[in-house]
Structure 1
Amino acid sequence: MSRPRIVVVGAGFGGLHTVRHLERRIPNGAADIALVAPNDYMLYSPLLPQVASGLLTPQSVAMSVHRLMKKTRFVPGYAVGVDTQDHTVVVRRPTGELAPVPYDRLVLAPGGLTREFDIPGLTEHAYGAKTLAEAVLLRDHVLGQLELANDSKDPIEREERCRFVVVGGGYTGVETAASLMRLCQEAAHLYPELRSVIRWHLVDIAPKVLPELGDRLGRKALNLLRNLGIEVKLKVTVREVTADKVVLTDGRALPCRTLIWTAGVSPSPLMETLGKPTMRGRLEVGADLSVPGEPDVFAIGDAAAVPNLSSAESAYCPPTAQYASRQAATVAQNVVNSILGRPLREFKHKDMGLVVDLSGSDALARIMQFDLSGLPALGVTRGYHVMSVPSTTARARIIANWGIRAVTGGEVARMGFADEGRPSSFVANEKVDYLDAESARKAGARLRENEEDRYGD
């Protein structure tokens, strides 16, 4: 009997941890394991705001999958469709061509994209903060605005370049605003005339920031942000964006050349290509993480609607790194069990809490219903990140970066990535042409036929 082919889509928290669990559970040579992902690294996204501020180097949060995998074949490209009839994943390679990746068992963990809305000017002018490239470009852009403002004698231009608006009061938005505000404070030592001009705004349509922290820590987070000098405006969002202005839904028009969009995540469009039921774009799965009607297909992470068996407050598991990492262990075991004909396990996990690092010495943490702030929260927060990073090399880099920053202070020099003009918006950065269910089925069948004609069955 031929070896089973196991394909995992996505190199994020869910996908990479699934591969590592499979490698530990499956003996050498007992199965062919393939990982499909556009980049050959796992991005530790919770620390991206610290990359944007320069506290961490980009290499610290990008861990090579080749170092973390021992028995898995890496397939570069985006999975853009799934042909469940022919058991084929359709992959768009970096060259643009489509290629088939056949499977006997499939685990989908493609993550999500920055959520976009039909707001005039948003896709043309907003910056994202979700990818490694966006974090590096964002840092360069912010520092570039300060340099240009310092060199300008026009008060209107100075105001536009020194005002920054972050949309989204969740984890990413709060940490990004706080981290980049501290970067601007460091840069202001070089440009003392700008100290009174620099303005940071955080806006969110929700009535509170970081609702996952609870009311007490949420209020503390709000106070910390305001003490940093960030103007927080709630129950408000963006109505229009232009190259030099942001108009809010309360009627305010803010002179501004930098809008940072962090207003949530949408599930990967890949999940729609299966033609199976979805919940707001998330592929519905059973408690055993398998897709109903497709016993050979499993889904986890941000793009999967996983029943939450450990909480009566929410019907589905939250799309967080914590849950994706735990789902990976269960789905890996269930893939093995399904091959061996054993019963599948249900996924259960009790939320362990949330940590928020506002850079400097400010942090907040809610661990097993215990609320922490100040230095205890900072210790817990950074300890959690160090333990969660799956690479010893990355841990060493992160700890070294924190230590160097504490001893020598920060650097405000640009890297030059944004020197060629306006970089692509977050929509363009994350855009991939996905197939619909019927197109995926036809493409899968056609590609498999072509492969058989070229190489034989």
Structure 2
Amino acid sequence: MPPVRIAIVGSGFAGFECARRLSKLLRRHGSNAVVTLISPVDYLLYTPLLPEVAGGATDPRFATVPLNDRLPGVQLIRAYVDSVDLSQRSLRCRDQENMTHELSWDRLVLTPGSISRLFDIPGLAEHGRGLKSTAQALFLRDHIIEQFELARIDENRERAAARKTIVVVGSSYSGTELIAQLCAMASVAVHDFGFEPGDVRLILVERSGRLMPELGPELAARTEQVLKRRGVQFLTGVTLSRVAADHVILTDGTRIGTYTVAWVAGVVASPLIAATGLPTVKGRLKVGSDLRVPGFDGVFAGGDAAAVPDVTKPNAITPPTAQHATRQGKVLARNVAASLGYGSAREYRHRDLGTVVDLGPGFAVANPLNIQLSGFAAKFVTRLYHLYAIPRNANRWAVALGYLTNILFVRPLVSIGFAQPSWARFSASEEFMPAPSAMQPLDEQMYADDLRYQEASDRAAAPSQSD
């Protein structure tokens, strides 16, 4: 008998955990099934550390876990999956040089993850930056440092103030942790660049009525108090209406001069899900509680791209979080193996172990097992959780050393040359690229934007010639 071919699309938390568990299960049962993981990148990105990468507290290498190191026995293909043919049980993908490849499968696991949720806001795609990839985190950090350096020599006071203003849109976990890390960067900038206290403005924009709706009111209030003491300004009940290179307009008409807009206002499923033509729920692929796609034998899905029913809450679906995706990956592995006759399938049932939110140096909030913690106790729990959750000892060791270094020394404010806008565009940096026919205009626009960006930087660096 030819070996069963199992294709897993995506190397996020769900896809990575499914591949790791499934390969172990198959080896244990002596199966000759071939597990293939298709992903645009060759690593698992530990996304909870991205705010620390953007804030300069963690080396980006240690937020990535190499697939070759952690997935022995799994065939890895680095490519973008463009389409899935369910009737022919095949998929089509493109490698880094846009060469097309076709792969047949007997079992398919769709875990392509999510991308930033962009609304039809003029200028957002061109001037806003996300926090879904190391490219975006590194660009954001370099861009902020560059603006601080330009502000120091800019003779136009209004423009210099805009360079020292940072707007973060979205107060979810990522948005709140990001602005907390940027507060730490701002305090260093005051010392290193000779700014006055309060010169760096940090503004958190949240469309809903309060900060971090996912947290309970007690921890959310505590988080808001801490960030306000650090100088963060909160604007609730509004969002962006328009984004330009040097300012934003809010929905209430307020104009804020800024050169830095971080957009962390939620996610949507990968465009691959819509391309399949399968039924969706709120844009995510409809699946059963056993993570099977209804009506298609041998097709499974999980993670951010799947609308997984929450069996503990009627008519609800699980939120797109790393905690859910990791556990769904384990159930996916078990149920795919069961479909081959190894073991029994089960439905996905989540037990919430709590939430941890890192708020920068010396502070965090957490509710492990519904125990409300804040301050140093929560900081200890938060860091211990991350060190446990990163699936590689070398990364754990390096991150732990980074934590110790940050306690003993001030974080350096130095750019690493990652400051071209096109490198951090939403589509180009979030493991999704348009098909080749749609890429040429985008590439030309990226080049033009980079050229304008460089010319504007040159003009700003010589204010005596332009003012």
TM-score of the superposed pair, with normalisation by structure 1: 0.92
Matched, 1:263 2:265: yes
Question: 1 CA distance for matches of 2:182 and 2:268?
Answer: 24
Alignment of 1:284-433 (within 5 A): 284-312=286-314, 315-340=316-341, 343-418=344-419, 420=420, 423-430=423-430, 431-433=432-434
- The aligned residue for residue 249 of structure 1 is 251
Higher deviation after alignment, 284-293 or 216-225? 216-225
Contact 1:311 1:350 in 2 (8 A): no
Q: How far apart are the structure 1 equivalents of 2:205 and 2:76?
A: 40
The alignment-based identity, stated in percent, is 37
Residue 148 of structure 1 corresponds to 150
- Quote the residue 1:52 is aligned against: 54
Q: Deviations over 1:189-235 (max 9, x none)?
A: 11223533210100011111111211111111111111110101111
Contact 1:81 / 1:434 at 8 angstroms: preserved in 2? no
Query: Partner amino acid for 2:316?
Result: A
1:427 Cα deviation after fit: 4.3
Counterpart Cα distance in 2 of 1:54 and 1:276: 41
1:11–1:177 CA distance, 2 compared to 1 (3 A): same
How far off its partner does 1:421 sit?
Answer: 6.3
**Structure 1 segment 88-127 matched on structure 2, within 5 A:** 88-127=90-129
With over 3 angstroms needed to count, the CA separation of the structure-2 counterparts of 1:424 and 1:341, relative to structure 1, is: closer
Q: Which amino acid aligns with 2:107?
A: R
Query: Do 1:122 and 1:240's aligned partners in 2 also have CA atoms closer than 8 Å?
Result: yes
| Amino acid in the other structure paired with 1:397 | A
1:209-248 matches, cutoff 5 A: 209-248=211-250
Aligned residues: 433
Cα-to-partner distance string for 1:46-99 (whole Å, 9 max, x where unaligned)? 010001111100111011000001100110111121101111121121111221
Q: What amino acid sits opposite 2:18 in the alignment? A: T
SS at structure 2 position matched to 1:203: strand
Give me the whole-angstrom Cα distance separating, in 2, the residues matched to 1:422 and 1:153: 28
Residues 341 and 372 from structure 1, CA distance in 2 versus in 1: closer, same or farther, beyond 3 angstroms?
Answer: closer
> Deviation digits for residues 316-342 of structure 1, max 9, x if unmatched?
111111111111111111111101186
RMSD of Structure 2 on Structure 1 (CA): 1.6
1:301, 1:323 within 8 Å by CA — same for their partners in 2?
yes
Counterpart-to-counterpart distance in 1, 2:417 and 2:25: 45
* Contact kept in structure 2, 1:123 and 1:427, CA below 8 Å: no
Cα contact 1:158–1:197 (8 A) shared by 2: no
Secondary structure of 1:247's counterpart equals strand
Q: Is the 8 A contact 2:51 2:181 kept in 1?
A: yes
Structure 2 counterpart of 1:444: none
Q: Which residue of structure 1 aligns with residue 26 of structure 2?
A: 26
State the AA in 2 paired with 1:259: V
Change (3 A) 1:250 1:224: same
What residue in structure 2 maps to residue 449 of structure 1? Answer: none
Report the Cα distance in structure 1 between the residues aligned to 2:41 and 2:222, rounded to whole angstroms: 38
Q: Equivalents in 1 of 2:348, 2:252: separation in Å?
A: 44
Matched, 1:17 2:17: yes
Deviations 1:364-398 (A, max 9, x none): 01222221101111011111111000011100110
- Give me the whole-angstrom Cα distance separating, in 2, the residues matched to 1:427 and 1:329: 29
1:67-106 counterparts in 2 under 5 A?
A: 67-106=69-108
Partner in structure 1 of residue 2 of structure 2: 2
| Aligned AA (1:30) | N
Q: Distance in 1 between matches of 2:318 and 2:422?
A: 38
- Contact 1:270–1:434 (CA under 8 A) maintained in structure 2: no
Aligned residue identity for 2:367: R
Where in structure 2 are there 5+ consecutive unaligned residues?
A: 437-467
| Alpha-carbon separation, structure 1, partners of 2:384 and 2:427 | 33
| 1:422, distance to aligned residue in structure 2 (A) | 6.6
**Displacement after TM superposition at 1:429 (Å):** 3.3
Partner of 2:443: none
After alignment, is 87-96 or 108-117 more displaced? Answer: 87-96
Q: Gapped runs of 5+ residues in structure 1?
A: 436-457
Distance 1:329 1:341, change over 3 A: closer
Q: Which amino acid aligns with 2:402?
A: N
CA drift at 1:185: 1.0
Instruction: Go from structure 1 to structure 2 and tell me whether the alpha carbon gap of 1:186 and 1:139 turns closer, same or farther (over 3 Å shift).
Output: same
C-alpha distance in structure 2 between counterparts of 1:307 and 1:262, whole Å: 25
Q: 1:278 to 1:434 in 2, by over 3 A?
A: farther
Q: Deviations over 1:96-154 (max 9, x none)?
A: 12211211111111110000011111111111111001111111000110001011222
Q: Does 1:193 align with 2:191?
A: no
Quick one: distance in 2 between partners of 1:322 and 1:329?
11
Q: Deviations over 1:336-360 (max 9, x none)?
A: 1101186531111111111100110
Q: Distance in 2 between matches of 1:92 and 1:394?
A: 30
Mapped to 1, the partners of 2:241 and 2:277 lie a distance apart of 34
What CA distance in whole angstroms lies between the structure 2 residues aligned with 1:201 and 1:341?
A: 53
